[in-house]
Structure 1
Amino acid sequence: MAPLIFLLTITLLTTPAISSVGSFVYGGCSQIKYTPGCPYESNVNSLLTSLVNSATLTVYNNFTIKSPTSQDTLYGLFQCQGDLSNVDCASCVARAVSQLGTLCPDSSGGALQLDGCFVKYDNTTFLGVEDKTEVLKKCGPLIAYDSDGLNRRDGVLDYLGTSDGSYKPFRVGGSGDVSAVAQCVQDLSASECQDCLSEVVGRLKTYCGAAASGDLYLAKCYVRFSKAGAHSYGGNDLKVKTQKGESHNPAVDDDDDDDDDEEEKTLAILVGLIAAVALLIVFLTFLKKRLWKR
């Protein structure tokens, strides 16, 4: 299987609805194409629909679509940032699946990272496989940190890259005007996740030095940090909050949860709508290919 070719691009979308979670970060497609109408295409459509449907219930899941021939067996997963609501997670994954269809038409494998979620599929298994391939590095402008400010920034990053003995694939940290977020894909074991995040933190401090902000994505984990006002992710300053009941750095100010109840009320309606939209996208893509062949 040829490696995915990544498009290392950052765009800041200004659509108010989900601009902070739906902004394009990077994408990649396999060089190998499948023939439209073949069994593999049906497997891809089935897998992507399953990812969208599952995202209404959880922030992570993986699927394997088995076939009589090994080359038609398909593996896939999605993961949302750990503090997203079910509504935002489902919306993000639905958008990612839609963009994958445009970015990687007829590709046997593809991966897409939006600001709030990650989707990947391939016919070579990657589930549970640690991968430290660097796919995106971005540093903000250099600024004049005082010694205390730089120590706070490094302290936040070190906190994210240090294990407390529990499995925490999603982590947040902050001190003063510096905030940061880290996450590894949950198909990794606790030790693999820790190894990946420690690697990112070390590289990020080396790459970005005294930068006001920095993003570093490896294939299976990422770390982002930002000094207040330095830059925005998807139109909003980097904001992080912990999941309910999760221990965290006390220097971090959790976002208010006042909107949670209202989001849950709309979830039941959006679940059906998102699933219907995903199925419609798959059907229209299939129909368009058939019309082009004529």
Structure 2
Amino acid sequence: MSRILTITTLISLLTITVLTTPATSSTDSFVFGGCSQLKYTPGSPYESNVNLLLTSLVSSAAFTTYNNFTIKSPTPQDTLYGLFQCRGDLSNGDCASCVARAVSQLGTLCPDSSGGALQLEGCFVKYDNTTFLGVEDKTEVLHKCGPLIGFDSDELNRRDVVLGYLGTSDGSYKPFRVGGSGDVSSVAQCVQDLSASECQDCLSEAIGRLKTVCGPAVWGDLYLAKCYVRFSKAGAPSNGGNGNDNNGNDEVEKTLAILIGLIAAVALLVVFLSFLRKVCERERGCK
């Protein structure tokens, strides 16, 4: 009976935890993610390396907004590379919170995968057993565009001025950049394992593609593998999948419904087992 009481207590605690979990903040909103098709064997040295790497990323995020790690192994294929980067305007506390959530989501998104990457609104996390650190990569991962504003030359000029500012280098290394002109604002960032010239090259490529794919839109986001560029007009509709709180809340509500259903099922099972135990004791046929 004490075991049954323990299970019931755990169910109660789980219910409280689930119902009091706050909704996902915009910093933690999902942008994109992907996983390696290769899988590792649970309990293998590679799994230990993955756990060590992800733990290191979360711990390091409390002190800096970017870091990379290499977990070496006697077996080359078990050597692991990883990094995290937070948006340049985040505090250490917000960065640590974002990276912890990203790592948690990676575990759900990419179970037993030898590599994975996840971009949230405020941070980016990636790991793989093939080195990507310091490697320039201008592969397009995602682009999204808002409603068209027509061919308003003033709006387009302001957008081009803002994006041109982001793409201009003054010779210093600035992986995180923000700009604005009138009611148009923008932000851009490179992953900091790139050199200054590689960062500049990546941003120039992203800006050119963004202007092409989004045209005269009120907002636009374009993510390459190692950098991104975003712009928006004040008062424009929210950037679709890059911070849609309604979608986030819907997902939370769905998750709560599933968990509450599971809790109810477990509770019924506990009641049934308790009843069965009592019947067995009366019949003196069960130990």
Normalising by structure 1, report the TM-score: 0.74
Tell me the equivalent position of 2:4. Answer: none
Q: Deviations over 1:76-104 (max 9, x none)?
A: 00000000001110000000000000000
Structure 1, unmatched stretches of 5+, are 1-14, 237-294
Aligned-pair CA distance for 1:235: 5.0
Match of 1:198 among 185, 194, 204: 204
8 Å Cα contact 1:18/1:88 also seen in 2: no
Separation in structure 1 between the aligned mates of residue 185 and residue 22 of structure 2, nearest angstrom: 23
Separation in structure 2 between the aligned mates of residue 58 and residue 16 of structure 1, nearest angstrom: 25
Q: Deviations over 1:249-285 (max 9, x none)?
A: xxxxxxxxxxxxxxxxxxxxxxxxxxxxxxxxxxxxx
8 Å Cα contact 1:76/1:119 also seen in 2: yes
Tell me the equivalent position of 1:165. Answer: 171
Match of 1:152 among 133, 158, 164: 158
Tell me the equivalent position of 2:214. Answer: 208
Tell me the equivalent position of 2:69. Answer: 63
8 Å Cα contact 1:19/1:235 also seen in 2: no
Separation in structure 2 between the aligned mates of residue 135 and residue 99 of structure 1, nearest angstrom: 18
Match of 1:226 among 232, 236, 243: 232
8 Å Cα contact 1:65/1:74 also seen in 2: yes
Tell me the equivalent position of 1:139. Answer: 145
Equivalences, count:
222
8 Å Cα contact 1:134/1:218 also seen in 2: yes
Tell me the equivalent position of 1:177. Answer: 183
Tell me the equivalent position of 2:266. Answer: none
SS at 2:112 equivalent: coil
Separation in structure 1 between the aligned mates of residue 79 and residue 135 of structure 2, nearest angstrom: 17
Separation in structure 2 between the aligned mates of residue 161 and residue 92 of structure 1, nearest angstrom: 27
Match of 1:44 among 41, 50, 60: 50
Aligned-pair CA distance for 1:17: 6.5
Across the aligned residues of Structure 1 and Structure 2, the Cα RMSD in angstroms comes to 1.4
SS at 2:125 equivalent: strand
Normalising by structure 2, report the TM-score: 0.75
Deviating above 3 A after TM superposition, structure 1's stretches of 4 or more consecutive aligned residues are 15-18
Separation in structure 2 between the aligned mates of residue 38 and residue 149 of structure 1, nearest angstrom: 56
Aligned-pair CA distance for 1:18: 5.7
Q: Deviations over 1:179-222 (max 9, x none)?
A: 01000000000000000000000010011100111000000000
The AA in structure 2 aligned to 1:234 is: G
8 Å Cα contact 1:33/1:108 also seen in 2: yes
SS at 2:89 equivalent: coil
SS at 1:216 equivalent: strand
Tell me the equivalent position of 2:82. Answer: 76
